[in-house]
Amino acid sequence: MDVRLQCFKVVGAGLATCSLIGAGAGAGVIFGSLIMGVARNFLKKDALFQYTILGFALTEAIGLLGLMMAFLLLFM
């Protein structure tokens, strides 16, 4: 395999993993908002927790898609 092609694959995979930074920051924002919401209205904690889990799942799905792209770039 050409050395330049391998170099570009590695750089592309590194750039694709940058989506994990956003997923980590998004998870922190989501759970921080849960804590603030429960502190303001304790009676709504079950509904807030359900919304939090949904938001966390969607945020992590974006991060996992970026990781999948990185693996596809490296190993294809």
In a domain? residue 44: yes
76: confidence class by pLDDT, cuts 50, 70, 90: confident
The answer to whether position 20 is within a domain reads no
Structure tokens at 58: 């969607």
Q: What mean pLDDT, rounded, does the chain reach?
A: 94
Taking only the tens place, the pLDDT of each residue in 11-24 is 999 999 998 999 99
Give a yes or no: residue 22 inside a domain: no
The domain in which residue 72 lies consists of 31-76
Q: What is the value of pTM for the model shown?
A: 0.81
DSSP conformational letter for 1: -
Give just the sign of the alpha carbon dihedral 53, 32, 29, 67: negative
Specify whether the CB–CB gap between 13 and 52 falls below 8 A: no
Number of structural domains found in the chain: 1
Compute how many other C-beta atoms are within 10 angstroms of the C-beta atom of residue 42: 9
> Does residue 12 lie in a domain region?
no
